[in-house]
Amino acid sequence: MRWDELFADLSGRAAQAEREDLEAEVADRALRDAAEVGWTQRVLATRGEVALQLLDGGWLVGRCLDAGDDWVLLRAATPGAGAPPRQVLVPAAAVALARGVERFSLPTAGAGGRPRPLLLAVRALLGPEPVLVRTRAQDVRGCIARVGRDHLDVSGGPPAAAGASPGGARGAVTTVPFGALLSVEELPG
């Protein structure tokens, strides 16, 4: 009888040690997996609204429509009664903090698993549709006429703040480096 108790005790200890090892491995994998997740992936997984505070202190609230590793696209509510929602492209580098972001994540890669950088997201806005380009210095209204590796050109209108800069004549082209970009917002035609 003593041998049966001894073997049962040893078997129980071995099973307990195995469970503890498995739990430690699962916890370690969870930490490693969490370390691989970008915050834009979490915004993309959020079903409700998120609030993003930009570097200028302003807030954008809306639902995430799409995201890349370095940008998010929100359907943001427009202030004012009856105004339709608008789409706002926000570079990840322009966000100071985010609220309401889901704990879980979705991959932000496009077709074929390739990343979709900010450059491609801005390039999708290229054309005659009017936009409001918000920068750290001022806002510029017009159309995106050109998208370079690290900048975009806005043409067709003066800066949003009248008299804010020299060379603000209608038809002038304003070049905005991506590093200064806070958001690009679609405007009603």
The answer on pLDDT for 185 being more than 80 is yes
User: How much is the average pLDDT of 136-152?
Assistant: 95
User: pLDDT: is 19 or 88 the higher one?
Assistant: 88
**What DSSP letter does each residue of 51-83 carry, written as one string?**
EEEETTS-EEEEEEEEEETTEEEEEEPPSSTTP
Distance between CA atoms of residues 188 and 132, nearest Å: 10
- Residue 63: the pLDDT is 95
Secondary element (H or E) of residue 143: strand 139-147
> Within 13 Å and on the Cβ side, how many CA atoms surround 112?
3
Confidence of residue 12 (pLDDT cuts 50, 70, 90): confident
pLDDT band at 40 (very low <50, low <70, confident <90, very high): very high
- Looking at every residue in the chain, the average pLDDT score rounds to 84
Asked which of 69-83, 106-120, 137-151, 156-170 is least confident by mean pLDDT, the reply is 156-170
Query: Which among 105, 23, 30 has a CA at the least distance from the CA of 64?
Result: 105
Spatial CB neighbours of 177, under 8 Å, sequence gap ≥ 6: 150, 151
- Residue 111 CA: distances (Å) to CA of 6, 107, 114, 131, 145: 59, 11, 6, 27, 26
- pLDDT given at position 122: 95
- pTM confidence score: 0.76
What percentage of residues in the chain have a pLDDT greater than 70? Answer: 78
Q: Which two tokens stand for residue 155?
A: 């043409």
Q: Are strands 71-76 and 181-186 parallel, antiparallel or unpaired?
A: unpaired
pLDDT (tens digit per residue) in 89-143:
999 999 999 999 988 888 777 666 677 899 999 999 999 999 999 999 999 999 9
- Cβ–Cβ under 8 Å, residues 101 and 42: yes
